[in-house]
């Protein structure tokens, strides 16, 4: 089945009693036993719930894994995976990862539970230099955030597996519609379902998907033990969001291409980061691994933070807000918003400068999106060209 069909078929769990087309919402904390020692398969919702099980089933199918666990947030997914490693394990992580991931890993590092190296994974041949006898895991986020560098997951995985590392890929930015990490050797995929998978900015959620049943069972056990599994209503909302994943992702990308092209030609913009652009540094890897480029774009503004703030204050359709992946367009400033928690040093090493703006492209009409950006960017150019025009007036 194609992914669009799976996204609809697998999210529909018909009840045996009434034949509902919509998946029933089993909003209950516990379940009656049929007899002593004989449950219906469900006893307590932290451990399992039929609505959440439907979501887990579709997530496993979309990624092509054996088992998925739906957890309360993307950070829950990451925390649960990290809990798998014995104390003192060493983790190698993409240096320009999500700010919350960096914060959590730094917490483990300073508290001494895990050792962590933040590494530029752009050159896979460098990976071996960081692997020690304690290294247990390679944590990949691709494309990186906010510079959208795509790394060669296939080459990295091959090296990591020579050293028996567990390869985890945070696939939030692309969604299974655009990238299938298991095809390129990943062992574990995590998602913040808050983003594209739910797609409607009304849920925070996460998922862990395992390629093997053994890992799936291990993470299901950990999620239950840690209490990170997600709520029933949130599961139901994500199920509903996933039904339209295909049409949404296609429209997000069509709009993103148009915006990226537009920004590339604008004189207020210094550099555009979008893996779908031929000019992007990792475009060649992106075309090799990805089925689509997603809907997030970052760009450098000429004139620095003062001009950045003008743009952020001026857009009307692009809402000034963190996060991404919803049907509505958003604009944000990584240095002071999404990546503030990373800390100055790590942020500087990852090249996340103050003049960068990140936008998440929604599915509004492209003409309205471009008009909104045109107005905001024109404020920058007018202030730059003001002295020129006034000078021209004086001369004439
Ligand atoms: C948002 C995000 C997370 C964290 O997810 P939450 O649902 O906010 O906890 C993790 N990784 C990436 C790449 C994200 O964008």
391 pLDDT band (50/70/90 cuts)? very low
State the angle between helix axes of 366-395 and 245-265 in degrees (0 to 180), rounded to the nearest 10. Answer: 10
Residues lining ligand 1, Cβ inside 6 A:
73-75, 98, 100-101, 141, 145, 170, 172-173, 192, 194-195, 204, 206
Domain shared by 67 and 165, yes or no: yes
For 232-280, the pLDDT digits (tens) are: 999 999 999 999 999 999 999 999 999 999 999 999 999 999 999 999 9
pLDDT at position 383 is 54
d(CA 261, CA 334): 21
Q: Which of 81, 93, 98 to mutate to test the pocket of ligand 1 (most atoms within 8 A of CB)?
A: 98
Running DSSP on this structure, what letter comes out for residue 281?
T
Domain shared by 264 and 138, yes or no: no
Domain shared by 152 and 255, yes or no: no
Domain that holds residue 227: 3-242
388 pLDDT band (50/70/90 cuts)? very low
pLDDT at position 332 is 97
Q: Are 327 and 199 in contact (CB under 8 A)?
A: yes
Q: Is 183 one of the catalytic residues?
A: no
pLDDT at position 299 is 98
> Is the confidence at residue 392, as pLDDT, over 90?
no
pLDDT at position 381 is 61
Ligand 1 center from residue 75 Cα (angstroms): 6
List, in order, residues 6 or more apart from 167 with CB less than 8 Å away. 137, 138, 140, 156, 157, 160, 161, 185, 186, 187, 188
> Is the confidence at residue 96, as pLDDT, over 90?
no
List, in order, residues 6 or more apart from 325 with CB less than 8 Å away. 172, 175, 194, 195, 196, 197, 198, 199, 201, 295, 360
Domain shared by 278 and 336, yes or no: yes
Residues linked to residue 297 through DSSP beta bridges, in sequence order: 359
Domain shared by 307 and 207, yes or no: no
> Is the confidence at residue 122, as pLDDT, over 50?
yes
What would the mean pLDDT of 117-124 be, rounded to a whole number?
A: 95
Closest CA to 173 of 189, 160, 159: 189
Domain shared by 238 and 111, yes or no: yes
pLDDT at position 13 is 78
393 pLDDT band (50/70/90 cuts)? very low
Domain shared by 251 and 236, yes or no: no
Domain shared by 267 and 321, yes or no: yes
Ligand 1 center from residue 98 Cα (angstroms): 7
**Is the preceding omega at residue 353 within 30 degrees of 0, hence cis?**
no
What would the mean pLDDT of 286-294 be, rounded to a whole number?
A: 97
Q: What is the pTM of this model?
A: 0.94
Q: Is 52 one of the catalytic residues?
A: no
């Amino acid at each position: 089945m194609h992914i669009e069909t799976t996204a609809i078929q697998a999210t529909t769990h018909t009840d045996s009693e009434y034949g509902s087309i919509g998946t029933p919402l089993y909003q209950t904390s516990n379940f009656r036993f049929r007899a002593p020692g004989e449950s219906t398969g469900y006893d307590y919702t932290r451990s399992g719930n039929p609505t959440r099980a439907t979501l887990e089933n579709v997530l496993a199918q979309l990624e092509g894994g054996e088992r998925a666990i739906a957890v309360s947030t993307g950070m829950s997914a990451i925390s649960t995976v990290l809990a798998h490693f014995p104390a003192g394990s060493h983790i190698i992580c993409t240096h320009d990862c999500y700010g919350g991931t960096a914060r959590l890993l730094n917490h483990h590092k300073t508290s001494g539970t895990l050792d962590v190296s933040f590494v530029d994974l752009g050159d896979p041949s460098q990976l071996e230099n960081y692997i020690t006898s304690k290294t247990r895991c390679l944590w990949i986020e691709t494309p990186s955030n906010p510079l959208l560098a795509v790394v060669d997951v296939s080459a990295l995985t091959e090296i990591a597996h020579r050293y028996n590392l567990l390869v985890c890929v945070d696939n939030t930015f692309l969604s299974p519609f655009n990238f299938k990490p298991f095809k390129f050797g990943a062992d574990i995929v995590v998602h913040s379902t808050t983003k594209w998978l739910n797609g409607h900015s009304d849920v925070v959620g996460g998922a862990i998907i395992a390629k093997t049943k053994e890992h799936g069972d291990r993470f299901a056990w950990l999620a239950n033990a840690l209490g990170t599994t997600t709520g029933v209503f949130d599961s139901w909302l994500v199920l509903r969001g996933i039904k339209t994943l295909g049409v949404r992702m296609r429209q997000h990308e069509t709009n993103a291409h148009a915006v990226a092209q537009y920004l590339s030609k604008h004189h207020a913009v210094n550099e555009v980061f979008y893996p779908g652009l031929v000019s992007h540094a990792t475009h060649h890897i992106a075309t090799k691994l990805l089925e689509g480029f997603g809907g997030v774009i970052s760009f450098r503004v000429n004139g620095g933070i003062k001009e950045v703030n003008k743009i952020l204050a001026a857009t009307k359709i692009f809402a000034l807000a963190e996060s991404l992946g919803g049907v509505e367009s958003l604009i944000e400033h990584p240095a002071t918003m999404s990546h503030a928690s990373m800390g100055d040093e790590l942020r500087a090493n990852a090249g996340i400068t103050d003049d960068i703006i990140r936008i998440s492209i929604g599915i509004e009409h492209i003409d309205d999106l471009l008009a909104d950006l045109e107005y905001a960017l024109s404020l920058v150019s007018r202030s730059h060209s003001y002295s020129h025009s006034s000078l021209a007036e004086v001369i004439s």
